[in-house]
Structures are given as structure tokens and as C-alpha cells.
Structure 1
Amino acid sequence: MSNAVIAATGLFTPEQSISNEELVAAYNAYAERFNAEHAAEIQEGDVAALTPSSVEFIEKASGIKSRFVLDKAGVLDPERMTPNIPERGNEDLSIMAEMAVAAARQAIASWGKPVSEIGAVLCAASNMPRPYPALAVEIQQALGIEGFGFDMNVACSSATFGIKTAADFIASGSVKAVLMVNPEVCSAHLNFRDRDSHFIFGDVATAVIVESSETAGAGGWDVLGTRLKTVFSNNIRNNFGFLNNAAPEGIGQPDKLFIQQGRKVFKDVVPMVSDMIVDHAADPGLDPQGLKRLWLHQANINMNQFIGRKVLGHEPTPEENVIVLDEYANTSSAGSIIAFHLRQQDMAPGDLGLICSFGAGYSAGTVFVRKR
């Protein structure tokens, strides 16, 4: 049985970024207009007035300071407050495939091997642009990769589920290398008119090449163990789908965008993930407090800090518990991979780390790795 190695990673970051100050100004302009237009109903108690947002509220609640987006103008327009991403023709490369291809090409260049050695493409993301053809197959064609590809969606945990799937393909001997990509246009499913969540998400794409240890060269990361977990919950949900997206009554409804019960999610997910990490570490005989670095899902600074303390047994340093959500915000499945991609070059051979995700489903994934 072949062992899996994370051989290379790639990152695509949009050119446009929105600061908290810009986002708050746009939301407050919308809220002021809403309150003025519904002043009579608010006075009668039939409509709740919208509370202004603030930079202080956002940073205390999340730790987020900015986010990258594909379309800044559409998000910041109080009349629109959603990105304007024109639909492309069937013969054109889709926007999510384009993002994934950019991240993949960076990973392939770092890997230094021909794409002919890749046997499968997995596209793991929280939202897909269509039911079919699979986005993975479109990406596969754009990169000139043979073999097969398919999409998978486990919300914010999609990347770790993708790494686990790739490692299993390699262990079975099905392929020698797998490209796993995570294109996320999170701004398109965020309700920017909801004060409690209008700041959460950003857009990005990441790529990971998982290879057999039999063919891997020097460098990279040995995958020491992978574990997945799901528990059904309605506390994070998005009801948009092919059964309702054409119904006029469904257009613009809040539950067709991202919704969550944040306090319930924190209470449920943080202990579940902390216990899962500690329990899983015992399988490969690891001491979780001996981990050199945590690359956690970039959801919320408070969640990451709590999990870091529970796993490491002390207050983690910024080097031990990597945080990139201040600049990128929550990028769903891509968050832990962004952190891993940007903050691993300084580690020495033999150093241990953890890539971990958690999110809607609920879903959680852990990937223990060791620097080769």
C-alpha cells in the first residue's frame, strides 16, 4: 500500500479587496435607506429597524479585517449588495474553473512534473456553478490531464475530505498523483444585507497535489493520518438549488443564501473538533501537544483560538496557530489550505502539523502531516 504525500500547493487570490471600513459604509447606507423607506411600519412595530454595523463589531466577532472578492463594485453598491459576475457561454471556461486552473498551475509549477503523471482531478468546494458537467472535468480538460475527475461538496470541510479521498486513491493504487482544487466564490452566496453575517466571506481558490510516496521526490509532507466526521445540523444552511432557483417566489429569500446560528455553531463545533483532533492523534501515535503548527479552517478567530488552546495545551503563538482570516476572511473549504500554503516554508524535516477543517453539515476533517 502506497503512502500519500502532499507534494505541492497553489493559491489564486483575486485582485480586488474590501476593507471592513468600506463594507460597513455600504451596509450602513443600505440600512439607513431601509429604515427610512419603512419608517411607518417600524413605528407601528410591524417591521424591525436595521441596526448599523461597525468595524469594531466585525473585528470583535470574527477577527476579520478585509476580504478578497471577484467584484468589489457590486458588493459595495447599496442598491445591489451582491457581486456582478456575468454568466459565461457554454464554450467559455467558467469563472470557478478559471480560478481553480490558476491555482492548479501554480501548484503544478512548484511540483515540477508533467500533468501526464496526474491521474485524477477532484474539485472540492462549498458551492458549484451547475449540477453538470462536473467542474472537475472542465478543469481537467483545461489543464490537459487524462484520467478522471469529479466534484465533491462537504461545505467548509471539502478540502480535507478531498485530501482524504486523494490519499485513499493513492493507497489503493488507483493513481499515482491527484490534483485537488478548491475554488470558492463565497461572496455570491453571502447575504450582504444581514448585519450578523455580511462580513464573513471572501473569494479565493487553492490547489493541492497529493502524490504517492513511491514517486515523490524530496520535500513535501507525508500524510500520517486522515479522519472525517459528519453530524447533521440545520445551524448552517443554504437552501439554494435547482429545485428552487427558477421559482420567482424563491428569488431574494434569505434562506437561499448563507444563514447560520453562530452561537449554536460555536457551542456544537468547537468541542467536537477539539476532541476529534486529540482522539485522532492517538491513531498514528502522535502527541497533539507536540504539533509544531496548526492550519485550521479560517472561520472565526475565537473558534481557532479555543481549538488551538485545547489541542496544544497552552496559548498558541501566531507561529503555532496560523491565522490568515484577517486578510482573507472565511473562504470556506480553501481557508486551511491558504494557511498551509502561506505558512509552511520555515518548517524543518520531521516537524509535525495538522490541517483541519470544520463547518456546515456539520462536517470536520483532520489531516496530520510531517515535513519530509
Structure 2
Amino acid sequence: MTRRSVIIGTGHYLPERVVENSWFEDKLETSDEWIRARTGIERRHFAAEGQTTSNLATRAARAALDRAGLTPDDLDGIVLATSTPDFTFPAVATMVQAGLGMSRGFAFDVQAVCAGFVFALANADAMIRAGQADRVLVIGAETFSRIMDWTDRSTCVLFGDGAGAVVLEAQEGAGGSDDRGILSSDLNSDGRYRELLYVDGGVSTTGTAGQLRMQGNLVFRHAVDKLAKTAHTALTKAGLSADQVDWLVPHQANLRIIGATAQKMGLPIEKVVLTVADHGNTSAASIPLALAVADAEGRFKPGDVIVTEAIGGGLSWGSVILRW
């Protein structure tokens, strides 16, 4: 028998403030039509003044626990992915732990930018497989609106704020590709490409949070190729092929990247969960947000094979294959 990490609950939270594309029209040389045509984004959510990443994450965490029928003390730990923490330290995960009233277990952050949730999910799965935990809450949460350059129309229209969470539980499987839960993962990074997507500030450089900088065209080229390859690698590890995939739940960065990646994988767009139009790019929060929305809509059936994949600054990219 093999220990598998099975998703038993999902949840998400989006800030109340909804920002339509038209909001940018009197601030930048842009338009709703321009943004939609190039990104597929129609609106996004921005956190309210004083509303932090840990606040969004805690709300998503509560929703996931409620759906799983668990209390915080049923958990062994929290792994949280973010690039926009409340503070330099402590970890946002510990603040969620306190916010939930969780009095036991571990809590730590993972930083891999937009690929953060995939990295967090793989780490939590490894801990469950190793017997270090039986239930782990995995969260992606961001307030990217706090690091935007509002004069740069190529970046500031892309991002939004939000949080998503899943509860992983150890269950016994036979050890094959028919098992429920996480079947495989594939993680990659290449620091040579730092200049393509980064924030121009930090504790040991400028002493400030900095603002996001991106070479969009180059990121696009890397994204399509690397996302299709990592998904293929993870599927092979799981003993599966692309024609056995029921759903692709990608990082919601740009509709053109998502479409090109799905095409390269040989998947019709009908098998892709899309939330980018309503959420924008929420970085590490985008995959768990999409999972939670699709779950709430009843789109996933028991036994469905789901591919999650993402690429972010670093460059860092990866994928996780799971059976619902």
C-alpha cells in the first residue's frame, strides 16, 4: 500500500472590491478592448486598505476546512505559498495558524512566485508520503496590488488579489495510477532568467518592497514551452498520458498562454478550467482559486485526472498530477 495525499476540501476568498478594465482607462493609455484582446482579463479583485495577505489566506483556509468538515486542530500543518507576505517575517502561514486558532502542528511559507502553489503542494505531499503529517492545509495567497507600478500598462492591468486553499489528507492507495490523490509532481527552476520577471526591491538591496518588472514577450515564450514539458514529464511519472487527462487547471496568467499550452498538450479548451477573466493573475493564489471555483460548481467527478501547472519568476515552473 502507498500513502497518497487526497484533496478532501477546497476554499477560496476574493476581496470585495472588483476592478473592471474600464477603471484603468482614465489612468493609462489603455482600454477594456486592449486588455481583453491581449490577456483575456475582464476584471480583478483588489484588497481593501488594511487588508493583508494573511487575512485573505485565513478566510480561504476557513472555507476549505468547512468543506472538508474539519476543525483547525485536525490539521498537522500549514504550507502557504506567497510572494507578498504581510511582513518580512514571521511567515504568513504562522499568522494564518494563529488566525484559525490552531494550537498544534507546523506552519511555513514557500516562495516560488506564480509557481508557488505547485511547489507548496509538492512539499506537503512529500511530508504526507513520508509519514510526517496526516492532514496539511495548502494555501496560495497574494496581494499583488501592493507591488504594482501603476504607470506601467503592460503589468499593472494583469494582476489581482485573492487566496485559495486545499486540505490534503493521507489515504491508502494501491500505488498505481488509479489511486486517488496526488500521483506525481515535477519542479524546476533556472535562475539565469531572473531579469525576465522580478520585483526591483528587497530587504538586502533597497530596503523597500519594490515594484514588479516583467519582459512579457520573453516570459510568454518560456511559459508555453516549459509548461507543456513539465506537464508531460509529470504525466509520464504518474504512468498517464495526455489523452487520459480530464481537466487542466493552469496558472491563470494570460488566456493566450493557457490556450497555447493546452493546444501543445493536445487538450481542447473545454477541458481547461478558466478563471482569468474574473480574477486576473493572482500569482500563487490562481491555481487553488480555480480548483475551489470548479469544485464548488461541481465540475470535478471522483476519479477525474487533473493537471495543475504554473510558471513564475525565478524562473520557476512545475506541475502536479492528481486524481480527484
For normalisation by structure 1, the TM-score amounts to 0.80
Q: Give the match for residue 271 of structure 2.
A: 320
- 2:73 is the alignment partner of 1:116: yes
SS of residue matched to 1:25: coil
- Paired position in structure 1 for 2:63: 106
Q: How many angstroms apart in 2 are the aligned matches of 1:55 and 1:95?
A: 28
Q: 1:243 aligns with which of 194, 204, 207?
A: 204
Contact 1:269/1:362, CA 8 A, preserved across alignment = no
Q: How far did 1:160 drift?
A: 0.8
Distance 2:90 2:219 in 1: 33
Which residue in the other structure is 2:38 paired with? Answer: 61
Structure 1 residue corresponding to 2:144, chosen from 186, 205, 211: 186
- Mapping of residues 101-250 of structure 1, within 5 Å: 101-145=58-102, 146-214=104-172, 222-232=181-191, 233=193, 234-246=195-207
> Letter of the aligned partner of 1:362 in structure 2?
L
Structure 1 distance, partners of 2:284, 2:71, is: 26
Q: Which has the larger radius of gyration?
A: 1
1:275 aligned to which of 200, 214, 229: 229
Residue type of the alignment partner of 2:133 = V
The correspondence for 1:341, drawn from 289, 292, 299, is 292
Is 1:9 paired with 2:27?
no
Give the alignment partner of residue 364 of structure 1, picking from 300, 317, 322: 317
Change (3 A) 1:134 1:347: closer
- 2-side partners of 1:361 and 1:289: how far apart? 31
Tell me how far 1:139 sits from its aligned partner.
1.2
Residue identity in the other structure for 1:363: S
Deviation of 1:114 after TM superposition, in Å, equals 2.7
Instruction: Give the superposition deviation at 1:264.
Output: 0.7
Q: Which runs of 4+ in 1 moved over 4 A?
A: none
Decide which of 281, 304, 307 is 1:330's aligned counterpart.
281
The separation in 2 between residues aligned to 1:283 and 1:119, in whole angstroms, is: 28
1:133-160 deviations in Å (ceiling 9; x for gaps): 2221121122122111111110001111
Alpha-carbon deviation of 1:245?
4.7
Q: Which has the higher strand share?
A: 2
Alignment of 1:42-81 (within 5 A): 52-71=29-48
CA–CA distance in structure 2, aligned partners of residues 115 and 348 of structure 1: 27
AA at the equivalent of 1:277: A
**1: distance between equivalents of 2:183 and 2:141?**
26
Q: Any conservation in 2 of the 1:161–1:365 contact (CA below 8 Å)?
A: yes
Q: Is the 8 A contact 1:69 1:203 kept in 2?
A: yes
Q: Which amino acid aligns with 1:138?
A: M
Partners of 1:121 and 1:179 within 8 A in 2: yes
Residue 253 of structure 2 aligns to which amino acid in structure 1? Answer: A
Instruction: Tell me how far 1:221 sits from its aligned partner.
Output: 5.3
CA contact under 8 A between 1:117 and 1:176: conserved in structure 2?
no
The answer to whether the 8 A contact 2:163-2:288 is kept is no
Gaps of 5+ in 2: 174-178
- What is the distance in 2 between the residues matched to 1:236 and 1:346? 33
User: How many residues get paired?
Assistant: 313
Give a deviation string over 1:290-331, Cα, whole Å, max 9, x none: 2111100000111000000111x25x23x3112111110000
RMSD of aligned residue pairs (Cα, Å): 1.9
Higher relative contact order (CA 8 A, sep 6+): 2
For the 8 Å contact 1:127–1:153, the answer to whether it is kept is no
Q: Percent identity?
A: 27
